[in-house]
Structure formats: structure tokens, C-alpha cells
Amino acid sequence: FDSRDGVIWFDGQFVPWAEANIHVLTHGLHYASAVFEGERAYGGKIFKMREHNQRLIDSGKLLGFDIPYTVDEIDRACVETLARQGFEDAYVRPIAWRGSEMMGVAAQSTKIHLAIAIWQWPSYFDPAERLKGIRVDLAEWRRPDPRTAPSKAKATGLYMICTLSKHAAERKGYADAMMLDWRGQVAECTGANMFFVKDGKLHTPMPDCFLDGITRRTVIGLAKARGIEVIERAIMPEELDGFSECFICGTAAEVTPVSEIAQWRFTPGEITKTLMDDYSATVRAHAKAVAA
Ligand code: PMP
């Protein structure tokens, strides 16, 4: 991944992709003092760019640091990087981290860095499997109590258990893993939020210890616009038997139907299909509206 062509925006400069390096004594690498975003461009325009870049700044604050750029400056840097890379449809990855000026848990005077890399990432899941519905395992790791970690931040450290869970699932032939939270309630997948369908209504867990995804909020809006009732509540895994459809959503995953979670079975149906189509139409319409 580190030897491509193109450029990366790095602390205000464009550097060749292969030269966007950091020192091994970077605090962010040792102590997970880093936050990031995942955004998608459609038709040359980044969907919900402002919301993502504001969340990046907010995530930094939750980790006790100020990213030394305003949201306008980060937006502009993303737009310029996308233009330099020359992609229409692409994935945008800003990341901010504490630098290598100090080593140790305490690192108050480290410099805060920001980089933005953009690459083409067509479908997060195998496209054929995605349409049939992906198979999801039940993760062993649980989302931490908000008193245990700053769970509202999109912070790199919170992804340690996501990578562990995703790898365990992939070893068993699954595409992803569903994580419960510390109470045993259904939380989310390793990089996406979850929705279930029962009697024509959508049910989704309350995002009180995991990311309230920007895609999640978009999907809730699309469902409401269709007159579909959305119920945000605590969902226990035992209830999964009673749901007919399930899908996950996130910037990278978009809206992806689920056919299985461990012993539970779902059939991607009308509501999943409608929201999948509405989501694609919305991100494309956004690109046209911004371009106009
Ligand atoms: N949960 C996790 C753990 C994620 O990594 C993501 C992707 N950022 C999401 C949920 C969905 O968030 P969004 O819709 O804002 O991309």
C-alpha cells in the first residue's frame, strides 16, 4: 500500500505517496494517540465531507489534542488532494496523530500531525457476496463501556478489537463480525453500524458506546422519508430470531445486506433493497448537486 503513485497531503504539503513516512518513535504508533476518518467521493465530490472533518476534529479533542487546522482548511485539503489524485470515486482517509518529539505515556508537547490519503476502494465487501447478503460471525470482543474508553472518538486504539474480531471471522470464512457491547447488547460490526427489520419497521441499537455513523444517520433520514418507522433501542442477541432482514452501513460498506449472523438467518428483502438504492441515489445526487 505504501509504494503507489500519486501524492499524500502531509502537514500542509503534497508529498509523493511512497515518501509519506513517519519516525518509529511516533507517539501515535506506541500509545494510539491518533484519530482518523473514512470518507467517500462520488463523481468527484466527497459525500458529507464537512460532517466527517468536524468529527475528526472532535475525535482529536476527545483524545486531548487540537488538530492545528480548521474544518474549512481540512475540507479544502481533502478537495485539493482528490483533485491531485484525479479520481471520481474514491475513499478519503484523513489521519491526525501525536508526533515523535516526546516518548512516554505523557506527551503533552508533541506536535499534532495531519495527513490525507486518497485511493480507489470500490466495494468494501466482495460484490457478488454483497448482493446475496454477507455472512457475519459473532465476535468474542465487546465494545467497551464509555467509562473505559472514549468510545465516541474515531480513534485508532478502538480498532484493535475490530481487527482482532475481523481476522477471527475471516479465518472461519465470514466476511465480518458483529460485536456486542460490554452489557451484552448488540452494538455494531467492525467498521459499520447495524439495522434490523421486523414487521416493516427498522430497529437499530442506540449508539451510546460506539460511533453514531454518518451513514447510519443518513439511512435513518432516508427510511423516515419513505415513511418507514425507525426504532432506536437496546437490542439483545436473543432477539435476532425475530428479525426478517438485516443490513449494515458505513462510509466504506455503504448499505450492505446481511444473510447470516452466527446461528441467525436473514433474507435481504424489500426494505434493505429500497434503502440500498436510496443510499446510492443520494450519494450520486449529492455529486450532481455540488457540481451544479
Ligand atoms: N462503526 C465503526 C466501528 C466504523 O469504523 C464505522 C466507519 N467509520 C462506522 C461505524 C460507520 O460510520 P460512518 O457511517 O460515519 O462511516
Q: Is 81 a residue whose pLDDT tops 90? A: yes
pLDDT at 292: 67
Q: What is the mean pLDDT of residues 123-139?
A: 87
Q: From CA 21, how far away is CA 229, in angstroms rounded?
A: 48
Q: What is the mean pLDDT of residues 100-128?
A: 91
Give the closest residue (by CA) to ligand 1 atom 4: 191
Determine the length of the chain.
292
CATH class of 127-287: alpha beta
Q: Where are the domains of the chain?
A: 7-119, 127-287
3-state SS record for 50-114: HHHHHHHHHHHHHCCCCCCCCHHHHHHHHHHHHHHHCCCCEEEEEEEEECCCCCCCCCCCCCEEE
Q: What is the mean pLDDT of residues 141-155?
A: 97
Burial of 128 (0-12, 13-18, 19+ CB in 10 A): exposed
Residue 188, all three cell numbers:
455494531
Between 39-43, 271-275, 277-281, 285-289, the lowest mean confidence (pLDDT) is in 285-289
Between 123-137, 198-212, 237-251, the lowest mean confidence (pLDDT) is in 123-137
- The rounded percent of the chain whose pLDDT value lies above 70 is 99
Give the closest residue (by CA) to ligand 1 atom 9: 192
Ligand 1 atom showing the smallest separation from residue 48 Cα = 15
Strands 45-46 and 34-36: unpaired
- The rounded percent of the chain whose pLDDT value lies above 90 is 92
Query: Is residue 72 very low, low, confident or very high in pLDDT (cuts 50, 70, 90)?
Result: very high
**Pocket mutation for ligand 1, best pick of 210, 251, 256, 279 (most atoms within 8 Å of C-beta):** 251
Of 192, 200, 199, 197, residue with least CA distance to 216: 192
Pocket of ligand 1 (CB under 6 A): 38, 162, 188, 191-193, 210-211, 213-216, 250-251
Ligand 1 atom showing the smallest separation from residue 159 Cα = 3
Of 155, 117, 152, 148, residue with least CA distance to 32: 155
Could you name the CATH architecture of 7-119? 2-Layer Sandwich (3.30)
pLDDT at 290: 75
How large is the ipTM? 0.99
Q: What is the mean pLDDT of residues 30-59?
A: 98
